A and B are shown apart, each in its own frame.
Chain A
Amino acid sequence: NAGVTQTPKFRILKIGQSMTLQCTQDMNHNYMYWYRQDPGMGLKLIYYSVGAGITDKGEVPNGYNVSRSTTEDFPLRLELAAPSQTSVYFCASSSASEPTNYGYTFGSGTRLTVV
């Protein structure tokens, strides 16, 4: 059981470049999330989805876009990379019926540097 799989693990982007961070889960979870974590800071919610075809903005959505065409996949798109987007990005998922017992399952993270 793979859980939540994120790719790539590391990436260096130049200012203005674009990229997509991939996230796939095989637990049939309805809820999926994208967070960023800056050093010494708490996790900040970028976007979330409550099911295929439904997405919504979190606390810090500017500069990002998402889509949810299937239950399994929730890619995060950066269109014009800026140095302020240098961070560690985590994808997470949860079952709508039991988020309290098991919490969120996180992917291993993507460390992104924009230069």
Chain B
Amino acid sequence: GQNIDQPTEMTATEGAIVQINCTYQTSGFNGLFWYQQHAGEAPTFLSYNVLDGLEEKGRFSSFLSRSKGYSYLLLKELQMKDSASYLCAVTDSNYQLIWGAGTKLIIKP
């Protein structure tokens, strides 16, 4: 079966750095997405990785290792507005998106 695993919840301090991990087992791989979802709102696109390595976008970076079936999202200089759920999603061999359940990130002052 196809499976994406993320921690259910994480807590971090304002101004700090947090890493959210995602492991996946899918039938084929055509890319990995990270989305941010604030409570009661729609998911919004953060990043896309298809090759191994690190992609940096301002305070957010995303890393992929295809051989390990592993990705992480790194958030630096945390702000209170970063409190949200972070969803990992993988595109399988049929170009269908398989979604993880999301990681709820709580930022404390």
Is chain B found bound to chain A in the same assembly? yes
A: which residues have CB within 8 A of B?
Answer: 40-45, 58, 90, 100-109
Q: Knowing A42-B4, A42-B87, A109-B42 touch, does A104 contact B97 (C-beta < 8 A)? A: yes
Q: Which of A43, A102, A107, A109 contacts B87 (CB 8 A)?
A: A43
In the bound complex, how far is the Cα of B85 from the Cα of A41, in angstroms? 11
By a CB distance below 8 angstroms, the chain A residues around B102 are: 42
**Are B48 and A101 touching (Cβ within 8 A)?**
yes
Q: Which chain B residues in 86-100 approach chain A with CB under 8 Å?
A: 87, 89, 96-100
Please give 9 more A-B residue pairs, beta carbons under 8 A apart, in addition to A42-B4, A43-B89, A103-B45.
Answer: A42-B89, A45-B96, A100-B50, A102-B45, A103-B48, A104-B43, A106-B44, A108-B42, A109-B42
When the two chains form their complex, are residues B48 and A106 in contact, meaning their CB atoms are under 8 A apart? no
Q: What is the total number of residues of chain B having a CB less than 8 Å from a CB of chain A? A: 21
Are A106 and B50 touching (Cβ within 8 A)?
Answer: no
| Contact call A42/B100, Cβ cutoff below 8 A | yes
> Contact between A107 and B99 (Cβ–Cβ < 8 Å)?
no
Q: How far is the CB of A21 from chain B (nearest CB, A)?
A: 14
| A81 vs chain B, min Cβ distance (A) | 22
Asked whether B72 is an interface residue with its Cβ less than 8 Å from the other chain, the reply is no
Contact residues in A for B96 (Cβ distance below 8 Å) = 45, 58
